[in-house]
Amino acid sequence: MELKYLILQFAFLSAGVLACNKKYGTHEGSTFVCECSADSCDTVQDFDDMIPGRHFVVYTSSKWAARMVKQTFSIRSAPQYPGTGVTFTLNKRTKYQEILGFGGSFSDSAGINIVSLSESTRENLMKSYFSAEGLEYNMARVPMASTDFSTREYSYDDIDGDLALDNFALTDEDINYKIPLIHEAIALSSQDIKLFASPWSAPGWMKTNGRMKGGGRLHGEPGGQYYKTWANYFARFLEEYQKQGVSFWSLTLQNEPSAGLVPNYDFQCMYLGPNISREFIKLDLGPTLAEKGFGHLQYMIVDDQRWTLPRWPRLILNDPEVTPYINGIALHWYYDRVTSTRRLRETHDEFPDYFMLNSEACAGVFFFEGDDVILGSWERGEQYSTDIFEDLNNWVGAWVDWNLALDLQGGPNWVGNYVDSPIIVDAEKDVFYKQPMFYHLGHFRFVTLINVFKFVVPGSVRVEMSSGRPTRLQYIAFQRPDGKMVAIFLNKTERTIPIQIFDVSVGFLSMEVSARGIQTYIW
């Protein structure tokens, strides 16, 4: 299998498709990254939307050999691996949730790293995420003021007692990083980018602990002067960004609101529990944004860990005066490994009219994960795709990553909370590295070079696909708006697994899922 992929990659060079410039990591067990510079950055061979009759296209990435390698095979009238392979049966009549999209976040740290590159290298990085040559993200999260992934602790109004927000102003981080990069992303994309905003904390003088960092809540109660000012703070943020030509699709009320219960929390946070959230929306935020011309904007609630489900949505959505303002439920991935997906299913069953969206994820957070940044970590790519499989197979309709890019240390981060990222920047060499995480994301989102056809496009619907017997593969299937089918498989074992997909309308798609590999099938 390794030789096959090397031959295929050589063939790509002759076809004019730029191959991965491999750079191997130094950590034990790590594989390679793809290095991009001003002059070169790997691309993916397009798939023609006119796939020849009775054929299917497969894209493969594997730990040691492949990154988005394309192959075309014939659809068979009978299984190729009878009695040995795993048969997956497609049922297009059983449909689940619509897929809204995929994206990342314009943190200050991402902006600092991207802008540190030369113009040509920076363009290649932005194309990798937002253009038809890359993932073509259609969603992005925008922090309101500072986060831990900033170089300092700041808000948009740090003047003590300024309840009228007379001193509210965007900062250098907005003007020099976030806003220019958002405009670049919009210019590169062939579709609208759904932007949503999230605050990490109110200004320190508005909080009970007197500082953005550390646990605390707003002074007073919903309906009081501090909550009115906080609602106006949201409105001013939206107005100032609108003046800069940036409009938002949605917002979350508070990043990880449960963190505000921890007195000595390491960075910016604020408690905004479900009961407070409900009353804040009803009494302050909803009416204020409607009055200021942002009544079209709907909000995502929770923006915290999966363990908050379904209790937090239940406490917020039990008030009919609140529900008109809300369109979805945002979630973070950090404790997904120890929190059952049953909570996702229960939440959907109870609130089927509200989409669920993963709004933040990053690897290297916990001490047991090893170094903050591990160049070439295939395991962290598997962590990403495993979580996406779990979420999308349990009613989540979108998946948004955290920092678009970080440096070799996993920052900057003003409190030293360094982590990993799908793209790592080496500003001194004017290069960036696409991690395995980037390509795992690509199997759900990659856009081809010529026909601008994504694998799982917005508007795709998850459909039922069942296994004929127990399997260690993770899998999922979608029907796209153009009628094409997409199936994705993840193999975390050390052996190749033969499979066949049975689609009653066309026949059997027979293939081997590579050891430690991820594959996308299109037909």
Task: Report the pLDDT value the prediction gives residue 397, as an integer from 0 to 100.
Answer: 96
pLDDT tens-digit map of 273-323 = 999 999 999 999 999 999 999 999 989 999 999 999 999 999 999 999 999
Contact call for residues 444 and 381 (beta carbons, < 8 A):
no
The yes-or-no answer on residue 360 being catalytic is yes
Task: Report the pLDDT value the prediction gives residue 450, as an integer from 0 to 100.
Answer: 33
Q: Which of 153, 173, 360, 512 is catalytic?
A: 360
Q: How far is the C-alpha of 458 from the C-alpha of 520, rounded, in Å?
A: 17
Task: Report the pLDDT value the prediction gives residue 44, as an integer from 0 to 100.
Answer: 76
Task: Report the pLDDT value the prediction gives residue 521, as an integer from 0 to 100.
Answer: 95
Contact call for residues 362 and 421 (beta carbons, < 8 A):
yes
Q: Other C-beta atoms within 10 Å of 337: how many?
A: 12
The yes-or-no answer on residue 464 being catalytic is no
Closest CA to 400 of 325, 330, 313, 474: 330
Closest CA to 64 of 2, 133, 15: 2
Residues of the chain with pLDDT under 70: 1-17, 45-50, 446-454
Cα separation values, 75 from 56, 387, 491, 505, Å: 7, 30, 22, 11
152 Cβ neighbours under 8 A, 6+ residues apart: 146, 414
Q: Which of 133, 173, 256, 279 is catalytic?
A: 256
Q: How far is the C-alpha of 229 from the C-alpha of 207, rounded, in Å?
A: 12
Pairing state between β 423-426 and 298-305 = unpaired
